[in-house]
Amino acid sequence: MNAQDKMAISIRNAAKQFGNFIALDNVSLDIAPNEFFTLLGPSGCGKTTLLRMIAGFETATQGEIFLYDEEIEKLPANRRSVNTVFQQYALFPHMTVAENVAFGMRMLKVPKDEITKRTSEALSMVQLAEFSHRRPSQLSGGQQQRVALARALAPKPKVLLLDEPLSALDLKLRQSMRAELKRIQRQTGITFVFVTHDQEEALTMSDRIAVMSAGKVQQVGTAKDIYERPNNIFVANFIGETNLIEVKIESIVKSVANCRMFDGSLIACTADAIAANIKTGKISVRPERLKLATKSSKGIKGVVTQSIYLGTDTQHIVRLGNQTELTIRSQNGDGPDANYEIGQEISVVIDPGVARLLTE
Amino acid sequence: MKSLDIKKYPGFRAITLFCLFILYGPMLVIAVYSFNSLRSITSWGGFTFAWYLKAFNNPTIQVAALNSLFIAVVAALLSTMIAVSAALALARGKTFKGQSALFALINLPLMIPEIVTAVSSLVFFIAIGFNLGLLTILIAHVVFCIPFAYLPISARLQGIKGHFEEAAQDLYATRWQAFRFILAPMLMPGIISGLMLSFIVSLDDFIITNMVAGPGTTTLPIAIYGMVRVGFTPEINAISTVLLLTSLVFVTVSYFLSRNAPKNAKTKPLQH
Ligand SMILES: Nc1ncnc2c1ncn2[C@@H]1O[C@H](COP(=O)(O)OP(=O)(O)OP(=O)(O)O)[C@@H](O)[C@H]1O
Ligand SMILES: [Mg+2]
């Protein structure tokens, strides 16, 4: 392995058990230098546990963690060049903002004048230069958040860990902080490992996302990868919205499966994410990829049960013959097909190549 | 809820005043008459500091006061150190079996009748052949001061919510540095409060001290008791007033420290 291949963080077969409960199950991940990497998953899936293992607050039951090829699993938290932005900030209440930011460098025995310089740099990066003499309790939630960020960045860690740092902020602030975090990550070039259960946050900010569920990593990829080519039903359901229709698999040739639907019709779908000997599965189609057409057109027959105008687009719910409900979203101003009435019999058209065959 | 306003109960004021009078009246009399130039505690003969001077120059009182101070200071320091460790272990360490039993054990001395502790301490020291004296007093004091130091410290610790130690260690502090720079300053009001309470409790103790002191070793309360038995003198008023004032100051400071306790412990965001 040459120097360029070095991963910022490399996790090998990590597992964590609390008593009999398996919080993390054989997790392996590679996080590249300068990457904005997100751990995304529902509550309780083990995101915080994984982050705390990287930080050194939990020991792995098994497995290894490497920081630029150095095995750090056995090192105590204070000897890992990794800093954390805590969800509840954990700013030291008896210290000023500047003292908080300087603390890490003080512990690292950085020379005094350099501490002063880097403290004010870090504070101006988060636009809090004029607050350096305040106590944390004299700041708003958003400002405290930024102090926590400056404090974690000032010692120049190799990797910055952020555990749902925006979840305590209101919506407006959260959105502006997303942009600010992105800017700071690019400006500093520090690898960010970001934890969230908010998929919109994950999709808009990350270079790559690891989708987790029940202690396992389900899929790793860019936002586009996991949205357009989900690996399994969990990912397809968790990221964005999707329609799932049960099918029988007739044949698979070169990652294209020929599947039979409940109404007897055949559909070709991408099948790169499933095992070869599988007989049944579900096809997943995003609501914006489905089209509605008149009853006489070729397609799956159904009845419109709901029609919701959403501004830029309209959402129709269609009940199929086997009682499956499909959600179909079409952009408004797209032509005459935007208007279907409740109770109307229609056809749902699935264009070739948009359906993905998945299993659990 | 107006109907529950305690001030509206009939006789509330009278009963309160009566209780306060019984509690504090005698102390007030002693304090006032410690400045009386007559030896009487019934008639006033003019203002004087003479009894204070006399008390301060009394060699028995001097020795007793020095003993008391020494024991109170050392007992307060030691018991507070033990209390801090106990509070940290119970609140911060991993939960372990018998944790609540341990908590009860630490605080049990508060509820056991003092005379029982006194007698059993005496029997214990004699049984192991320990010479009674300053050291046995000190050991006994450290032990019964621990719960007094423990309570304000653990109360303060419970108010500290959040991952402050982890944050410190994340920022390259060792466990000791995390305690020294983060946790200890945040605990300080509790620690000072614990120090003061245990100091006062030690300074005032009579029953246990009297039992384990052995012959010839005196502390202030023992000296005062001895003097009263021989015959009442205004010096006793003076020295009691000094003790009273010391207690008052310490308890007040301790109260104020614990009252505006963990206000900052969890940083509360202001509204934007
Ligand atoms: N110290 C612990 N002892 C026992 N179980 C624990 C402990 N810490 C975490 N767990 C369990 O491990 C699982 C994963 O927890 P974790 O905090 O990592 O979830 P998470 O993905 O961060 O969830 P959230 O989005 O709610 O923060 C949970 O089921 C949790 O109950
Ligand atoms: Mg979490």
Q: What is the ipTM of this complex?
A: 0.82
Chain B interface disruption, residue of A89, A92, A146, A169, most B CBs within 10 A: A92
pLDDT tops 90 at residue A101: yes
* Count of helix runs (H) and strand runs (E) in chain A: 8, 20
A77: nearest CA in chain B? B170
The 3-state secondary structure of A33-53 reads: CCCEEEEECCCCCCHHHHHHH
Q: Is residue B271 part of a domain?
A: no
How many structural domains are present in chain B?
Answer: 1
Rounded to an integer, the average pLDDT of B98-113 is 81
Neighbours of B123 (CB within 10 A): 11
| pLDDT tens for each residue of B115-164 | 998 898 899 998 988 888 889 899 999 998 999 999 999 988 888 877 89
User: Is A235 domain-assigned?
Assistant: no
pLDDT above 80 for A5: no
User: What is the whole-number distance in angstroms between the Cα of residue A238 and the centre of ligand 2?
Assistant: 17
> Helices then strands (H, E): number in chain B?
12, 0
pTM, two decimal places: 0.80
Task: Look at residue B153 and tell me if it is in a domain.
Answer: yes
Whether A234 maps to a domain, the answer reads no
Q: Which of A77, A138, A194 is nearest to B270 (CA)?
A: A138
Q: What is the pLDDT of residue B246?
A: 86
Q: Which long-range contacts (CB under 8 A, 24 or more apart) does A108-116 make?
A: A108/A155, A108/B172, A110/A155
Look at chain A and report how many structural domains it folds into. Answer: 2
The range of the structural domain enclosing residue B219 comes to 49-264
Q: Which amino acid is at A50?
A: L
- Residue B218 belongs to a domain: yes
CATH number, residue A108? 3.40.50.300
Reply yes or no on whether the pLDDT at B268 is more than 60. no
| Claim to verify: residue A125 and residue A59 sit in the same structural domain | yes
Let me know if residue B117 belongs to a domain. Answer: yes
**Strand ranges of the sheet holding A9-18, from the earlier edge strand across to the other edge:** A21-31, A9-18, A62-67, A70-71
Note down the domain range covering A23.
Answer: 3-228
Whether the predicted pLDDT of A18 surpasses 60:
yes
CA A335 – CA A339 distance, rounded (Å): 9
User: Phi, psi (5° rounding) for residue A134?
Assistant: -80, 160
Which amino acids bring their CB within 6 angstroms of ligand 1? A 18, 21, 23, 41, 43-49, 197
Asked if A197 and A310 sit in the same domain, the reply is: no
Task: Specify whether A119 is located in the same domain as A194.
Answer: yes
A to B CB pairs, distance under 8 Å: 93
A145 and A169 inside one domain: yes
- Please report whether residue A236 resides in a domain: no
Residue with more model confidence, A216 or B89: A216
Domain assignment present for residue B165? The answer is yes
Query: Do A42 and A164 lie in a common domain?
Result: yes
- Give the CATH number of the domain where residue B256 resides: 1.10.3720.10
Residue pair A283/A359 in contact (Cβ under 8 Å)? The answer is no
Interface of B to A at Cβ within 8 Å reads 162-164, 166-174, 177, 181-182, 185-186, 263-272
In a domain, A233, yes or no: no
Write the residue in A56, A57, A107 that is nearest to B171 by C-beta: A107
State whether A245 and A166 are in the same domain. no
Cα radius of gyration (chain A) = 25
B184, closest residue in chain A (CA to CA)? A94
Residue finishing a domain among A228, A249, A265: A228
Q: A80 and A224 in one domain?
A: yes
The SS3 call for residue A266 is strand
Domain boundary, last residue among A202, A228, A254: A228
Proximal ligand: closest to the CA of A198: 1
Asked if A83 is an interface residue toward chain B (Cβ–Cβ < 8 A), one would say yes
Residue A258 in tokens: 């020929």
Which residue from B144, B10, B172 is spatially nearest to B78, judged by alpha carbons?
Answer: B144
Same domain, A272 and A335: yes
Nearest to A270 by CA among A150, A162, A185, A353: A353
Quote the minimal CA–CA distance from B102 to chain A in Å: 24
pLDDT for the residue B153: 92
Whether residue A85 sits in one domain with residue A189: yes
Both A246 and A222 in one domain: the answer is no
Q: List the single range of A214-228, B27-41, B70-84, B143-157 with lowest mean pLDDT.
A: B27-41
**A247, A224: one domain:** no
What CATH number corresponds to the domain at position A318? 2.40.50.140
Q: Which of B160, B267, B270, B271 to mutate to test the interface with A (most CBs of A within 10 A)?
A: B267
Asked whether residue A193 falls in the same domain as residue A133, the answer is yes
Q: Between the ranges A103-107, A168-172, A271-275, B265-269, where is the mean pLDDT highest?
A: A103-107
Best of A103, A115, A134 to mutate (most B CBs within 10 Å, chain B)? A103
For residue A124, pLDDT beyond 50: yes
Cβ–Cβ below 8 Å for B269 and A144 = yes
* Residue B35 within any structural domain of the chain: no
Query: How confident is residue B75, by pLDDT bands cut at 50, 70 and 90?
Result: very high
Is B3 inside any structural domain? Answer: no
Does residue B99 have a pLDDT over 80? Answer: no
Q: Which residue of A has its CA nearest to B188?
A: A94
- pLDDT value for A166: 87
Quick: pLDDT tens for B238-252.
888 888 888 888 888
Nearest CA to ligand 1 atom 14: A46
For residue B3, the model assigns a pLDDT of 56
Report CB contact under 8 Å: B166, A104: no
